[in-house]
């Protein structure tokens, strides 16, 4: 039995598959691909798959991963991406399959490529929007309302902006690195919503997760 | 694919996955390479429409033809509709993202009367003129099929063509005709006239209806050579009938998220309230071999690990246990579980239970429909109390503790005593639990009584019957509640729920309505009425205002006893069962007399003319 991790992209129509539904889509793809994977042996037996880091509804990603256990030790892992892609919707493409290196608990941060624009066209120019966003991120503190298990809480997210880089071009685009993982996870929308509120403009944000990292900035593998 | 314009709106609505397509198994074609574009519209939300078997069959059937591209369209939920209207985005099809107005055919499935208002709303959202007479040229042909096409009169102003009966052949014949007409440059009128010659096709604009002073129908007269009587189509050989080997597998969870295999069409029972039991006659079975082969392919191609074996009454399949055994020969090793819905009380056996046993034991559901034996005889349900108790005992011994019982109130000949017997029957099931020695220990039983209101439907022996008034129905609902209390039944062991009688009333009006209701439909649409099947949207008050504005009394359709010699709005449609047979069955109901089922004795319903199915089975 091998612990296997598949890496996949999720975009297009598949951005709108929730985490729970992604689980169902993957289970059916595995069923259809006839991959022989380990099943739970309890009361309600089912194929066992786990996801390292859930992706928010509406986000695209270039670096999703899913773990399962292959029963046959001689299984050719390099053939798995193609086998699974034949069984998946267009918007989910597996591009790599390998034995898992890190534990999901090792994940510390994630990088998002973000593009923001006003919901109503022409309300603000992209250059002005970029400017305001830059100003916003250079504030001494950024207080946002974060939903926690104990209700809404005011949190200063400024220290959590691990890296930030504006991108050249016509649109207001930037990369943002934020803490990620099971202990502390900051959703980029938390910042974007707070920004939208501060400028008083309804914004649309196109968000793609482009990297998931462990301690020291190494790629999660 | 979805239009670029909605990208920004998707995260503002619930479940955006409903609107984007992109599922595994969807048919993507090049629109320049096809001759006919068909928009298959389901007048309800994605999760409901995608659960429907008919759309899966016809979608695959159409798309197997290289010259047809069939796409799916569902009704947007109210939050998305609001966004679409605010941003001027027309209703689109999921495969291409193109607006409805780009399509040659706009096809609706008529599953229930309460979805009619969504049809008008979808046409409007798609930029299609609502009224048939306002649509010109050979495009935007609005067609409809499904069970409610058996009395389509209330929506004849909006639909150009109705398909009666099984759609597998007739739909394609009409599409082929359209293709030929388009090539030859024929007019819309010419196409419709030619279509009316095809068996199973009803072109309502070719018929004139006149009325008597009392509001009943005087005559229905065909024009331009249209047939006086339109016969339904039937697929007689189910093994050879088209069945898809793959489904569009949804990315978001839908209501029935599993593979479905139809095991037979029709029903031998002839329960007198049940429209499906008469519309789909005669019973036509698939062979065990065919079922197993089709099911296996479906599971392999979709990746589903659950199959529902669909029919109107699963335990009436002649080879039910051999079928389950055959299926399990591959299903068990492949971890596929089988489910057998629509089990009759008397068809529930240990053998079946063993084959469909799943690890999760949910409750069992049965439909005795009426509380007393007298009334069960009158509606021809043919279920006996001791059978129900035996079945419950088997279920309790098998570890089940929850039993759900479905009933109807407002049935013809019903008395308050019959109504009280619903609670009594529930109590007897509880008693059975406690008298079963091998019952699950340490667990309390739970019986749920569910009462819906009877709606008289066309092509049933009760098609002449008045529906109880809403006041009477409410009185009966309360009477059940009172009987539970009088019986001193613990409410922790018995749940009672009933359906809103308001929606049943509207359903009754439209089920047996005539062409004068078209005006009411249009008025309701103008008032913004849609999603009547959803309690968060339905308002009887709004509907009553629409009736009033049109000067139409809904009680004329719902609560009036019709005479046996009255011309009914659907009399020019032929579903095989004769009016004479339905009349005989109705008279038997008045005498509280049950009838034998098709396998016991032929009652001469008229369907032997199809030359097959159960009528010609060896007995």
Average pLDDT for residues B74-94, to the nearest whole number? 97
Distance from CA of A217 to the nearest CA of B (A): 31
Residue range B51-65, pLDDT digits in tens: 999 999 999 999 999
Strand partners, A47: A39
Compute the average pLDDT of residues A204-219: 96
pLDDT at B357 over 70: no
What's the gap between Cα B594 and its chain centre? 25
Mean pLDDT over residues B242-253, rounded? 97
Whether A45 and B1 lie within 8 Å, measured CB to CB: no
Whole-angstrom Cα distance, residue B49 to residue B537? Answer: 18
Let me know: does B506 contact B113? Beta carbons within 8 Å: yes
Q: Which residues, other chains included, contact B549 with Cβ-Cβ below 8 Å and sequence gap of 6+? A: B523
Closest CA to A88 of A3, A39, A38, A22: A22
The values of phi and psi at residue B589, to 5°, are: -60, -40
**How far away is chain A from the Cα of B200, in angstroms, using its nearest Cα?**
37
pLDDT at residue B358, rounded to an integer:
54
Are A64 and A9 a contacting pair, CB within 8 Å? yes
- Give dist(CA B121, CA B128) in Å, integer: 10
Q: What is the pLDDT of residues B462-506, one digit of tens each?
A: 999 999 999 999 999 999 999 998 888 888 889 999 988 899 999
Helix (H) and strand (E) counts in chain A: 4, 10
Strands B402-409 and B201-202: unpaired
CA distance B193 to chain A (A): 42
Confidence band for B296, pLDDT divided at 50, 70 and 90: very high
Contact (CB<8Å) A89/B257: no
Q: Taking CB atoms and an 8 Å limit, are B20 and A32 in contact across chains?
A: no
Chain B nearest-CA distance from A112, in A, is 18
Q: Which of A13, A21, A204 sits opposite B22 (nearest CB)?
A: A13
B256 touches chain A (CB under 8 A): no
What pLDDT score does B441 carry? 85
Computed over every residue of chain B, the mean pLDDT equals 95
Among the residue ranges B4-8, B196-200, B507-511, the one predicted with the least confidence is B4-8
Pick the range with the lowest mean pLDDT from A199-203, B211-215, B364-368: B364-368
How far apart, in whole angstroms, are the C-alpha atoms of residue B102 and residue B614? 44
pLDDT for position A44: 76
SS3 A134: helix
CB-based contact B168:B588 (threshold 8 Å)? no
Instruction: Residue B78: count other Cβ atoms within 10 Å of its Cβ.
Output: 16
Distances (CA, A) of B471 to B180, B410, B498, B500: 55, 11, 14, 12
- The pTM (predicted TM-score) of the whole model is 0.95
Report which of residues A114 and B400 the model is more confident about: A114
- The domain limits of chain A are 2-100, 106-217
Q: What is the pLDDT of residues A120-134, one digit of tens each?
A: 888 888 999 999 999
Helix B288-302 vs helix A19-33: crossing angle, to nearest 10: 120
Predicted pLDDT at B201: 98
CATH number of B361-499: 3.30.750.200
Which superfamily is assigned to B4-212 in CATH? Cobalamin-binding domain (3.40.50.280)
Cis ω for the linkage preceding B353 (within 30 of 0):
no
Find how far residue B137's CA is from the centre of its chain: 32
Q: Closest to B24 (Cβ–Cβ): which among A16, A57, A88?
A: A88
CA distance A56 to chain B (A): 11
Q: What fold does the segment set A106-217 form as a domain?
A: Alpha-Beta Plaits (3.30.70)
Measured between alpha carbons, how far is A190 from A142 in angstroms, rounded to an integer?
10
CATH class for the region spanning A2-100: alpha beta
> Which member of A12, A29, A32 has the closest CB to residue B300?
A32
CB B60 within 8 A of CB B246: yes
Domain coordinates of chain B in residue numbers?
Answer: 4-212, 361-499
What pLDDT is recorded for position B362?
Answer: 64
* pLDDT single digits (tens) A38-64: 999 877 788 999 999 999 999 999 999
CA B245, chain centre distance (Å): 23
Q: Is B182 left (phi over 0), alpha (psi -120 to 50) or beta?
A: alpha
What ipTM describes this predicted complex? 0.93
* Residues from chain A contacting residue B16 (CB–CB below 8 Å): 16, 57-58
Same fold, A2-100 and A106-217: yes
Q: Which structure tokens are listed for B239? A: 């093994």
pLDDT score, position B361: 58
* Distance from C-alpha of B28 to C-alpha of A12, rounded to nearest angstrom: 15
| Cβ pair B388, B368 in contact under 8 A | yes
B16 touches chain A (CB under 8 A): yes
CB pair distance less than 8 Å for A14 and B22: yes
Q: Encode pLDDT of B116-148 as tens digits.
A: 999 999 999 999 999 999 999 999 999 999 999
Q: Are A37 and A70 in contact (CB under 8 A)?
A: yes
Distance CA(A109)–CA(A188), nearest Å, equals 12
Asked whether residue B340 carries a pLDDT value surpassing 90, the answer given is no
Q: What are phi and psi of A29, to 5 degrees?
A: -65, -40
Report the half-sphere exposure of B2 (CA within 13 A, side-chain side).
24
Disruptive mutation site among A89, A115, A118, A189 for chain B (greatest number of B CBs within 10 Å): A89
Q: How many CB atoms lie within 10 A of CB A71?
A: 13
φ, ψ for residue B574, nearest 5 deg: -120, 115
b or e along B479-504 (b: 16 or more beta carbons within 10 Å of the residue's beta carbon)?
bbeebbeeeebeeeebebebbbbbbb
pLDDT at B544: 98
What is the Cα B597 distance to its own chain's centre? 22
Q: Three-class SS string for B532-577? A: CCCCCCCCHHHHHHHHHHCCCCCHHHHCCCCCCCCECCCCCEECCC
B389 contacts: CB under 8 Å, gap ≥ 6: B428, B429, B432
- Mean pLDDT rounded to a whole number for chain A: 93
Q: Is the pLDDT of residue A113 over 70?
A: yes
Q: B68 vs B365, which has greater pLDDT?
A: B68
Angle among Cα B390, B394, B397 to the nearest 5 degrees reads 135
Does residue B359 register a pLDDT over 70? no
* Cβ-contact B468, B561 below 8 angstroms: no
């Amino acid at each position: 039995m091998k612990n296997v991790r598949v890496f996949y992209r999720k975009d297009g129509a598949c951005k709108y598959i929730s985490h729970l539904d992604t689980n169902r889509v993957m289970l059916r793809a595995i069923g259809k691909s006839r991959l022989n994977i380990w099943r739970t042996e309890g009361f309600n037996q089912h194929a066992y798959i786990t996801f390292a880091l859930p992706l928010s509804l509406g986000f695209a990603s270039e670096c999703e991963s899913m773990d399962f256990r292959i029963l046959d030790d001689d299984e050719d892992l390099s053939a798995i991406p193609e086998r699974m892609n034949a069984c998946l919707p267009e918007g989910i493409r597996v591009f790599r399959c390998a034995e898992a290196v890190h534990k999901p608990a090792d994940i510390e941060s994630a990088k998002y490529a973000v593009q923001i624009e006003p919901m109503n066209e022409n309300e603000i120019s992209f250059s002005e929007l970029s400017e305001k966003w830059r100003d916003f991120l250079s504030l001494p503190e950024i207080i946002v309302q974060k939903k926690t298990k104990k209700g809404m809480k005011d949190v200063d997210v400024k220290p959590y902006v691990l890296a930030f880089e504006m991108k050249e071009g016509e649109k207001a685009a930037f990369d943002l690195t934020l803490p990620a993982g099971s202990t502390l996870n900051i959703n980029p929308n938390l910042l974007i919503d707070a920004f939208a509120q501060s400028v008083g403009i309804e914004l649309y944000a196109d968000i793609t997760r482009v990297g998931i990292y462990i301690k020291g900035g190494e790629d999660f593998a | 694919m979805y239009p670029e314009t909605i990208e920004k709106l998707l995260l503002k609505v619930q479940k955006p996955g409903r609107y984007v397509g992109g599922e595994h198994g969807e048919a993507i074609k090049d629109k320049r390479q096809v001759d006919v574009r068909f928009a298959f519209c389901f007048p309800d939300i994605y999760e409901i429409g995608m659960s429907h078997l008919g759309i899966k069959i016809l979608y695959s059937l159409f798309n197997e033809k290289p010259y047809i591209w069939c796409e799916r369209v569902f009704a947007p939920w109210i939050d998305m509709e609001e966004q679409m209207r605010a941003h001027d985005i027309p209703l689109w099809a999921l495969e291409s993202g193109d607006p409805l107005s780009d399509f040659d055919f706009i096809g609706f499935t008529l599953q229930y009367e309460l979805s009619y208002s969504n049809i008008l709303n979808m046409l409007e959202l798609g930029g299609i003129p609502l009224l048939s007479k306002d649509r010109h040229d050979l495009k935007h042909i609005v067609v409809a099929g499904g069970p409610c096409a058996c009395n389509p009169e209330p929506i004849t102003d909006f639909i150009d063509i109705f398909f009666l009966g099984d759609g597998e052949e007739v739909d394609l014949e009409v599409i082929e005709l359209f293709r030929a007409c388009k090539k030859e440059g024929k007019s819309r009128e010419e196409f419709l006239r030619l279509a009316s010659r095809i068996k199973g096709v009803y072109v309502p604009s070719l018929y004139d209806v006149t009325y008597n002073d009392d509001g009943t129908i005087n005559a229905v007269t065909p024009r331009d050579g249209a047939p006086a009587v339109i016969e339904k189509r039937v697929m007689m050989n189910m093994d050879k009938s088209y069945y898809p080997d793959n489904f569009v597998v949804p990315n978001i969870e839908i209501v029935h998220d599993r593979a479905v295999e139809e095991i037979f069409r029709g029903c031998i029972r002839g329960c007198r309230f049940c429209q499906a039991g008469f519309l789909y006659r005669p019973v036509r079975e698939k062979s065990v071999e065919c079922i197993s082969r089709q099911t296996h392919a479906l599971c392999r191609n979709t990746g589903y690990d659950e199959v529902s074996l669909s029919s109107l009454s699963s335990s009436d399949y002649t080879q039910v246990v051999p079928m389950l055994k055959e299926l399990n020969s591959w299903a068990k090793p492949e971890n596929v579980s089988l489910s057998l819905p629509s089990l009759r009380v008397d068809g529930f056996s240990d053998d079946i239970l063993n084959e469909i046993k799943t690890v999760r034991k949910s409750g069992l559901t049965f439909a005795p429909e009426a509380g007393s034996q007298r009334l069960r005889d009158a509606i021809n349900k043919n279920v006996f109390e001791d059978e129900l108790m035996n079945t419950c005992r088997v279920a309790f011994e098998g570890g089940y503790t929850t039993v759900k019982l479905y009933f109807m109130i407002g049935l013809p000949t019903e008395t308050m005593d019959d109504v009280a017997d619903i609670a009594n029957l529930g109590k007897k099931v509880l008693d059975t639990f406690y008298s079963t020695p091998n019952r699950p220990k340490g667990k309390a039983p739970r019986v749920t009584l569910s009462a819906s209101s009877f709606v008289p439907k066309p092509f049933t022996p009760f098609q002449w019957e008045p529906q109880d008034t809403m006041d009477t129905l409410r009185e009966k609902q309360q009477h059940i509640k009172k009987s539970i209390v009088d019986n001193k039944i613990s409410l922790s062991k018995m749940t009672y729920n009933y359906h809103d009688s308001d929606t049943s009333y509207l359903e009754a009006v439209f089920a047996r309505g005539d062409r004068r209701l078209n005006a009411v439909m249009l008025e309701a649409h103008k008032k913004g009425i849609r999603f009547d099947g959803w309690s968060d949207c339905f308002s009887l008050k709004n509907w009553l205002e629409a009736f009033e504005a049109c000067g139409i009394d809904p009680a004329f359709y719902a609560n009036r006893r019709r005479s046996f010699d009255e011309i009914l709005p659907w009399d020019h449609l032929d579903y095989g069962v004769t009016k004479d047979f339905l009349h005989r069955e109705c008279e038997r109901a008045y005498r509280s007399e049950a009838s034998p089922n098709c396998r016991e004795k032929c009652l001469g319903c008229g369907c032997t003319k199809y030359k097959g199915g159960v009528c010609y089975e060896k007995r």
